Structure 1
Amino acid sequence: MLKKYYLSALALPLVLSSTWLQAEPDEQQWQTYNTAALEQQILPGYQALETHLDTLHGRLETYCSGQVDSSQLSEVHQAYRESMDAWQAIQHVQFGPVSLFMRNYALHYWPDKRGTGARQVRSALNQTETEYDAEYFREASVSLQGFPAMERVLFAPEAKSLLMPGQNYCRFAEGLSQHMLTTASEINQEWQEEQKQQMLQPESSQYFASHKAAAVPLMKSLVEPLLVIEDYKLDYVLGDSPEEARWKRSESWRSGQTLSNLQINLRSLQQLYSGLEPVNIKTLLAAEGEEDFAEKIDRQFDHLQKQLAAMSPPDRPQLDQKLDRQLRELETGISDLYEQLELAMGVLNIQLGFNSRDGD
């Protein structure tokens, strides 16, 4: 990753050659962008997460009360998948209330390279006298608090026979869904009541000195998640060769959402880049005289989505040659997009600051 960073830095003067004398976006433009990002993505994103988790909790309560036939586990599965989709749509926002009290990790501790979560979930399900209440999950390891733990319970091969009223699987799943809902509700409420004002009124905030400064965490949310996708969601799965690739290392493989997660991630990032109205990063770049460069980035987003749309998940732990090749090509494309967006930040005179992943 360090080599990539230096290559981007060396390429920067080439991109800026026609624009360096022009004025960067002004405060009004950044204020308009920040408002659009909040009102069109972040606030509705957290509201959607809370809504879907509320549905998941309600369906689990109904299912585990014995009021429905066990064949209706599919409705619980669907509620889980919709909740995970909502999380993937806002997962790139790693600042503000979601970062307080490690809520981001509590919602989604992954990847679990040492298998800690699997061991802890098995241990939790064997504690017959345990009350899986709010206090239990507040003090529990992050491996027990979020989507991966819920997925292990709901999509385990034995789930249909063990998710029974009064039994540990149901008691744990109900308690966990309530904890996840509470967490999402707190994040949503704090954005509405506090973080929104700090972002939109930096003059009265102790965190941001200007509208441009308030835009920096949004720019981080656009650029840095690509490294997470590349390193964790792709490279960790693929390894250095086809022989090392393991689909069971992929995010959400149990629920069958690995590829859709990537599609949703990229869709959300592209919205931050070019989908907001009336101002977005693409229009800001164009205003700096970089119309062609701005369009090139947008086309790269489209190209990556087309690559993903052509993929099908494997039906066994090993990847076939076609999918392995497709994912490695996608990884290269993600890397290229990351470099392009880094250059775009230079055009806009945005300094993202130190990223611990640059030296990986």
Structure 2
Amino acid sequence: MKPFSRLLCISAALLALNASAAAETPAQQARQQWHQEILTGYEHLAEQAGAFADAAGSWCSSPSEQGRTTTEKAWREAFMAWQAVRFVNFGPIETDNRSWQFQFWPDPKNLIARKARYLLSSDEPATAGTIDDSGVAVQGFPMAEYLLFDQPFNQGERALPAGRSCDLLVLVAGHIRDTADQQLRDWQAFRAPYLANDQYHDTTIKAGMTALEVLEERRLAQPMGLRGNGKRSVYAADAWRSGTSLATLEATVRGLKQHFLPGLTLLLENGNQPELAPRIRSQFDEVLENFPDMDKPMAPLLAEDGHYSELQGLFVDVSQLTTLVNDQAAVALGVVRGFNSSDGD
């Protein structure tokens, strides 16, 4: 092919590509952005889950104080990676209660501790099949958190790195790794139906809205005693054993800002209330300005009135963010919430 003809072909292809992109609606463009952003989140989760499984295996094969520190850090980093994509409540994550496999919460009956005691007292050796058959309370981050951080457990004779406890930790970490790898593969395969189906426009927006409602009402207001029986209780928060309840909130907000907000911004900027986009972005920043000062255990903040005001300030910022997204942006985009959409996580 002559150089001039080749240039004509390249130019025609670029024009066709640009025309195709221009023909896409803002909703289609937003879904493309959401899929890619969420994919990035799942890639990070799979990477961190693999690092946690490796750290647990190395420590249990050769116990040391440094090994424990490394394993606890790896658990935290993997758990925070999960928090960043926790808002996605549709698609492959619904397979086999996969979100519950990552994080069984809430746990008002302390099922995680009961399951751990049962498995550790059994005469049968624990295997990968044991974890698969024992239910979601055994399979995810909270079970690993119990083994690593529960104070009464770690003062007893079965405290890590005791052999059977280490076996269980390694198996649980391996299950988390395998689940994260499968979720990543399934989300990659989900691209075509996600982009082709218009229903995922509202579904994705509602996922972000639900995550904010759950964060405000159940992960903050309930432990603060602002809902339910009116009593402050750290046990109503998630990840209280490791003292990372507030760190998980930060990770969720950062995840929403990174993986959800760009697509929402695109829709708002192409809608009839473009001024909402910078206001919502600014409110995300306002919430995150509470950290890293709020990256501390929740229990002392709940116990002391002088520190309780820190939680109150965070709650007000989160409430304002929820109102902006769930009321104003949702109305602007024509998204109608279902009844009691925060009833679940």
Q: After TM superposition, is the score higher than 0.5? A: yes
Partner of 2:276 in structure 1? 293
Which of 61, 72, 81 is equivalent to 2:76? 81
Aligned to 1:311, what secondary structure does the other structure show? coil
CA contact (8 A) 1:57 1:174 kept: yes
Partner of 2:179 in structure 1? 183
- TM-aligned CA distance change 1:153 to 1:270, over 3 Å: same
How much is the aligned-residue C-alpha RMSD, in angstroms?
2.6
- TM-aligned CA distance change 1:116 to 1:292, over 3 Å: same
One-letter code of the match for 1:51?
Answer: E
Aligned to 2:170, what secondary structure does the other structure show? helix
CA contact (8 A) 1:259 1:308 kept: no
Instruction: Establish whether residue 65 from structure 1 lines up as the match of residue 61 from structure 2.
Output: yes
d(CA) in 2 for partners of 1:311, 1:199: 36
Q: Structure 1: where are the runs of 5+ without partners? A: 1-25, 203-207
Which of 186, 196, 203 is equivalent to 1:217? 203
Instruction: Establish whether residue 30 from structure 1 lines up as the match of residue 42 from structure 2.
Output: no
- TM-aligned CA distance change 1:100 to 1:72, over 3 Å: same
Kindly state the Cα deviation for residue 168 of structure 1 after the two structures are TM-superposed: 1.4
* Deviations 1:199-248 (CA, angstroms, capped at 9, x unpaired): 12x2xxxxx3x3xx222221122211011111221122111499932334
Aligned to 2:334, what secondary structure does the other structure show? coil
Partner of 2:335 in structure 1? 350
Give % identity: 26
Partner of 1:255 in structure 2? 242
Partner of 2:317 in structure 1? 333
* Deviations 1:24-67 (CA, angstroms, capped at 9, x unpaired): xx95211111111111x21121121111111111111111112x
Aligned to 1:238, what secondary structure does the other structure show? coil
d(CA) in 1 for partners of 2:211, 2:107: 18
- How many residues get paired? 316
Partner of 1:284 in structure 2? 267
Q: Per chain length, whose mean CA-contact separation is higher, i.e. which structure has more relative contact order (CA < 8 Å, sep 6+)?
A: 1
* Deviations 1:265-318 (CA, angstroms, capped at 9, x unpaired): 1112123454x3xxx322432333423332222222111112344435358655
- TM-aligned CA distance change 1:146 to 1:315, over 3 Å: closer
One-letter code of the match for 1:330?
Answer: L
Aligned to 1:237, what secondary structure does the other structure show? coil
What TM-score, normalized to structure 2? 0.83
d(CA) in 2 for partners of 1:49, 1:64: 22
* Correspondence list, 1:68-217, <5 A: 68-127=63-122, 129-157=123-151, 159=154, 162-164=159-161, 167-193=163-189, 195-200=190-195, 202=196, 208=197, 210=198, 213-217=199-203
Partner of 2:14 in structure 1? none
What TM-score, normalized to structure 1? 0.80
d(CA) in 1 for partners of 2:210, 2:38: 17
CA contact (8 A) 2:154 2:160 kept: yes
